[in-house]
Amino acid sequence: MRPVAILQHDPTQRGGFLVRCLEQCGMETKVFCPDEGDSLPRSAPDYSGIVLLGSNRSVNDPVDWIAEELHFVRSAMHLDVPVLGHCFGAQMMAKSLGAHVCRNAWANIGWSRLHVTPHGTALFGADEVVGFNWHYETFAIPTGARRLLYGTHCLNKAFAIGRHMAFQCHFEVTEDIVSEWCEHARAELSVAGGPAVQSRARILADMHSNLPALQATARRIYRQWARSLTPPARRRTAREGAGAAG
* Interacting residues of 41 by C-beta distance below 8 A, sequence separation 6+: 5, 32, 47, 50, 72
Q: What is the pLDDT of residue 136?
A: 98
**In which domain, by residue range, is 55 found?**
4-245
Cα(228)–Cα(234) distance, integer angstroms: 11
Q: Could you tell me the CATH number of the domain that includes residue 173?
A: 3.40.50.880
Q: What is the pLDDT of residue 231?
A: 60
Q: What are phi and psi of 30, to 5 degrees?
A: -135, 125
Domain count, the chain: 1
Positions in the chain whose pLDDT score sits under 50: 235-246
Contact 70, 92 (CB under 8 A): yes
How many angstroms separate the first and last alpha carbons of the chain?
23
Q: What is the pLDDT of residue 111?
A: 99
